[in-house]
């Protein structure tokens, strides 16, 4: 983990709220805090090597794998958002998305597929998908790719800012690759959710699935929709399901029409706390 990543994740919110003298105090201490935490940074796990001694993981379902690799997509996980020096042994209840993922992903478990994951964080979900899909290639993007703690010949980790439409187009839309599954689990901001779906839907293969986690965040969290804009992606999907029209300043008419003409089915489920959408393509 780079120093600037450490600051952005663990201290930026505190710096913004701090008084002038408190900011000076924080900036003075930060290099020392970073060096101490550096001793507790996790090692990079090579999954190609790790899998040789743990073949049993290829036979496990997503409920097991999500918990084994400590992703909040499953039923329980250990707090992965604390500073490295803090070790918590108390299990937290996760989103309980595993049953929904299992329903949509199980049919392609043995296939040669491509998965695009937006919002990879430490790579815990990517590691779970590595074992669930034995032949999959996984493309994991995040604004902090240096957090990623896994590597494999089947996993590519890269920088992506999902709030930038230009970057989504340049880094993903122009590439000669399409995906069986696209998972949007990045910032969860109103704009990010909308442009990720409508810009990248053409990159989804026929009969592919586009997943949006925490779909309801822009409707329920002020920090995800500061200006209370409408429509949110949740609103848009409801409107489309009812065969009605909508307008959004974040997408073009061509992007909207492509989606409307090519989606097959929209299903929204409630996990333990939040909603998750699965959108099937024709």
Q: pLDDT (tens digit, 9 = 90+) per residue, 36-69?
A: 988 888 899 999 999 999 999 999 999 999 999 9
**What is the mean pLDDT of the segment spanning 164-188?**
95
pLDDT at 122: 94
pLDDT at 270: 97
**What is the mean pLDDT of the segment spanning 120-136?**
97
Phi, psi of 236 (to 5 degrees): -60, -45
Judged against a pLDDT cut of 90, whether residue 26 lies above it is answered with: no
3-state secondary structure at position 123:
coil
Least confident of 79-88, 131-140, 146-155: 79-88
pLDDT at 227: 94
**What is the mean pLDDT of the segment spanning 195-205?**
97
Nearest Cα neighbor of 239 from 270, 266, 211, 208 is 266
Judged against a pLDDT cut of 90, whether residue 6 lies above it is answered with: no
Instruction: Give how far Cα 53 sits from Cα of 50, 69, 133, 171, 262, Å.
Output: 6, 16, 17, 35, 43
- Measured CA to CA, the distance from residue 115 to residue 215 in angstroms comes to 20
- Measured CA to CA, the distance from residue 198 to residue 30 in angstroms comes to 40
Judged against a pLDDT cut of 90, whether residue 95 lies above it is answered with: yes
Q: What is the CA radius of gyration of the chain?
A: 19
Band (pLDDT 50/70/90 cuts) for residue 79 is confident
- Measured CA to CA, the distance from residue 149 to residue 147 in angstroms comes to 6
Judged against a pLDDT cut of 90, whether residue 96 lies above it is answered with: yes
CATH class of the domain whose range is 45-281: alpha beta
The CATH 3.40.50.150 portion of the chain extends over: 45-281
pLDDT at 12: 82
pLDDT at 8: 86
Q: pLDDT (tens digit, 9 = 90+) per residue, 247-267?
A: 999 999 999 999 999 999 999
pLDDT at 13: 77
């Amino acid at each position: 983990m780079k120093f600037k990543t450490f600051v952005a994740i663990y201290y930026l919110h505190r710096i913004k709220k701090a008084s002038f003298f408190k900011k000076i105090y924080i900036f003075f201490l930060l290099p020392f805090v970073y060096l101490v935490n550096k001793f507790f940074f996790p090692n990079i796990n090579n999954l190609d090597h790790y899998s040789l001694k743990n073949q049993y993981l290829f036979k496990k379902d997503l409920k097991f794998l999500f918990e084994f690799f400590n992703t909040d997509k499953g039923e329980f996980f250990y707090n992965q958002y604390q500073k490295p020096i803090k070790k918590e042994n108390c299990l937290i209840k996760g989103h309980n998305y595993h049953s929904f993922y299992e329903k949509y992903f199980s049919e392609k478990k043995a296939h040669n597929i491509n998965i695009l994951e937006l919002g990879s964080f430490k790579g815990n979900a990517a590691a779970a998908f590595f074992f669930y899909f034995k032949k999959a290639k996984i493309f994991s993007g995040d604004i902090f790719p240096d957090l990623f703690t896994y590597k494999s010949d089947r996993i590519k980790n890269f920088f992506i800012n999902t709030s930038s439409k230009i970057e989504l187009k340049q880094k993903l839309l122009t590439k000669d690759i399409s995906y069986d599954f696209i998972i949007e689990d990045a910032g969860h901001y109103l704009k990010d959710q909308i442009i990720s779906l409508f810009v990248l839907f053409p990159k989804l293969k026929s009969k592919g699935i586009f997943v949006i986690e925490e779909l309801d965040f822009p409707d329920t969290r002020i920090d995800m929709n500061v200006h209370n804009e409408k429509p949110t992606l949740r609103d848009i999907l409801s409107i489309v399901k009812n065969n009605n029209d909508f307008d959004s300043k974040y997408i073009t008419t061509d992007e909207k029409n492509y989606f409307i003409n090519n989606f097959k089915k929209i299903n929204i489920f409630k996990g333990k706390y939040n909603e998750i959408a699965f959108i099937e393509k024709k």
